[in-house]
Homo-oligomer: A and B are copies of this chain.
Amino acid sequence: MSRRRLKIVLSYDGTKFLGWQIQRTGRTVQGVLEESLDKMHKHPVKVVAAGRTDSGVHSTGQVCHFDTDLDIQESNFSNAINSFLPNDIFVRKSCYVNTDFHARFSARKRVYKYYLVDYSGYNVFNRFYCTPVRNLSGLDLLNGCAQKIVGVHDFTTFTSVRDQSETRVREVYSAVFLREREFTVFRIEGNAFLWKMVRSIVGSILKYAPADDSGEELSRILFSRDRTLAGTTAPAKGLFFHRVYY
């Protein structure tokens, strides 16, 4: 049987995962997914993802690839994998791709969404999927800050000092706050993101927006590359890895 490369799009509820990346102990998305694929294939299968999400972060559009020697029709592969997966991971789509496709390196654009909610809209049903905020600023104020993030920048201010990327320069294509039902959602598109970058940007905008209608303060801390000026990193549970473009 020839080997073919499969691309899959994954949703997962990050609540009960210690993030994407496999670890020696603890439940991870990669670990659970590979375990299921190992059972299907009856040999180990290595999965590559577009992005490594942290503990508690959700996904509606994580993309992965792996090579398979199973002769399963493209359209049936999702169902086949789902029958092995627990109910907090779900394969939404699957298709065969060229072997030069790489879930991580071929990605052109990644989209994250961060869900905020006023305390009046926070409830027992959305408690794992958004972050409640007191006196949440209006869209105008939030977007005054968000627009300052757009462009090619060194995002050192907004990443952990432990981030090990070779360069901290990334391009943000768009960054906007919008309303979605009871939520205020921060939607950010970029070529790639540093570790904790989205959550740190959200935390910083929440910190500076109330007194910064022009976004000047946010520009200043972005250019300072001084980690200590960032706001508190927003909680993982509000973050969704939304989509990857190739």
Contacts and interface: CB of A to CB of B under 8 A. Distances in A.
A90 B13 CA distance: 22
A141 to B, nearest CB: 28
A88 B124 contact: yes
Interface string A1-36: 000000000011100000000000000000000000
A11 B123 contact: yes
Q: How many copies does the complex hold?
A: 2
Interface string A80-124: 000000011110000000000000000000000000000000011
A224 to B, nearest CB: 37
Interface in A44-99: 58, 60, 87-90
Contacts of A90: 123-124
Secondary structure of the A contact surface, majority rule: loop
Contact of A125 (B58, B127, B181): B58
Interface size class of chain A, counting residues whose CB lies under 8 Å from the partner chain:
10 to 19
A186 interface: no
Nearest to A123: B11
Contacts of A241: none
B125 A13 contact: yes
Contacts of A181: 181
A158 interface: no
Contacts of A89: 124
A129 interface: yes
Nearest to A122: B90
A13 B129 contact: no
A89 B127 CA distance: 11
Nearest to A11: B124
A89 B123 CA distance: 9
Interface string A118-156: 000001110101000000000000000000000000000
18 contacts: A11-B123, A11-B124, A11-B125, A12-B124, A13-B124, A13-B125, A13-B127, A58-B125, A60-B123, A87-B124, A87-B127, A88-B124, A88-B127, A89-B124, A90-B123, A90-B124, A125-B129, A181-B181
Interface of A: 11-13, 58, 60, 87-90, 123-125, 127, 129, 181
